[in-house]
Amino acid sequence: MFKSALLLSTAIVAAFPAMAHERRDGGKLLLTGGVSSVDGAAGGGLASWALIAGDETEDGRGGSAHATYVALPDFDLTSAGVAAGFSNRVEISYAYQRFDTRKAGAALGLGRGFTFGQHVIGAKLRLAGDAVWDQDRLMPQVAVGVQYHIAEKAPVLRAVGARESESADFYIAATKILLAQGMVVNGTVRFTNANQFGLLGFGGDRHRGRSAQFEGSAGKLLAANLLAGVEYRTKPDNLGFAQEDDSYDLFVAWAFHRHASLTAAYVDLGDIATVKRQRGLFLSLQGSL
């Protein structure tokens, strides 16, 4: 969601020679490394994008770290992680997510304050295009990625119907930055069997294998360091005991420093484990180099 907060202002666009000089110096333009998705990869809050984490260009290395908090009516989700970018071509990422059931845990028979957690290890490869520098082409930046999820509490996950506690997601993403219009758009197709992003395991009594899911993002630059936009992410519906809904958010991303950004969003995760209408606040702080 936030990662286009990187798009440059019209004034920067007008100074294209200066931008070229910055590229030779080895530094990306403001925010073009993106922000961290909840899964740890460079992207929006909900979606993984084709952009590569960090401030490096093709001649260097970079990285980022994030901390994210999602406050919902009946649950809390936290995520923290790091990502490294190499030559603006390869990205390696790691995130740990923790899902607190609070009072709802007792109603679900798990116990008040019961928590689920998972590790997400990711890799991404840019295949073609450059989201910033290919302004004279329709070709977006295209990348493929894999995210391996290791969910905790395997016995509980099996009890609710999950087939596995570990699985891999595969995705292909296309991101286009339109400098003159101050916009960014992204589309991602993810092949996954994750239940609630993997926190409730993988596969279920309804569906076991992976299915193709869509992640879409669009943002508009309101100022040189301020981006507003929307994201939508579809999810599988594998577990018979509870329908799983798609998710969306409305976000504002603020780059308050060359190497730091703060994202705030209204996020709707739908019904979670029979608990209705989980809508709330998303906050994420990221630092990059």
pLDDT tens for each residue of 209-230: 999 999 999 999 888 889 999 9
Q: Which residues of 107-121 are buried (b: 16+ CB within 10 A; e: fewer)?
A: ebebeeebbbebbbb
Residue 78 is predicted with a pLDDT of 96
| Residues 234-247, mean pLDDT to the nearest whole number | 92
- Please check the confidence at residue 8 and state whether its pLDDT lies above 70: no
Of residues 217, 222, 195, 190, the one with CA closest to residue 206? 195
Would you say 162 and 239 are in contact if contact means Cβ atoms under 8 Å apart?
yes
76-86 and 42-43: which strand pairing? unpaired
| CA separation for the pair 164, 78 (Å, rounded) | 22
pTM metric for this prediction? 0.87
| Residues 177-181, mean pLDDT to the nearest whole number | 90
Beta strands in 141-180 (DSSP E): 141-151, 166-178
Q: Is 275 exposed, middle or buried (0-12, 13-18, 19+ CB in 10 A)?
A: middle
Strand partners, 281: 71, 266
What residue has token string 């970079």?
A: 62
Residue 31 is predicted with a pLDDT of 63
Running DSSP on this structure, what letter comes out for residue 198? G
Domain boundaries defined on the chain: 3-288
pLDDT tens for each residue of 79-133: 999 999 999 999 999 999 999 998 887 777 788 889 999 999 999 999 999 998 8
pLDDT tens for each residue of 15-67: 333 333 344 334 677 667 678 898 999 998 899 999 999 888 888 889 999 99
Would you say 167 and 173 are in contact if contact means Cβ atoms under 8 Å apart?
no
pLDDT tens for each residue of 250-280: 999 999 998 899 999 999 999 998 889 899 9
Helix (H) or strand (E) holding 275: none
- Please check the confidence at residue 1 and state whether its pLDDT lies above 70: no
- Please check the confidence at residue 158 and state whether its pLDDT lies above 60: yes
Of residues 121, 221, 228, the one with CA closest to residue 178? 221
CA distances from 27 to 22, 33, 43, 228, 231 (A): 6, 10, 19, 24, 27
| CA separation for the pair 32, 152 (Å, rounded) | 34
Averaged confidence pLDDT in the chain: 87
Question: Class for domain 3-288, per CATH?
Answer: mainly beta
| CA separation for the pair 193, 204 (Å, rounded) | 9
Of residues 19, 53, 49, the one with CA closest to residue 140? 49
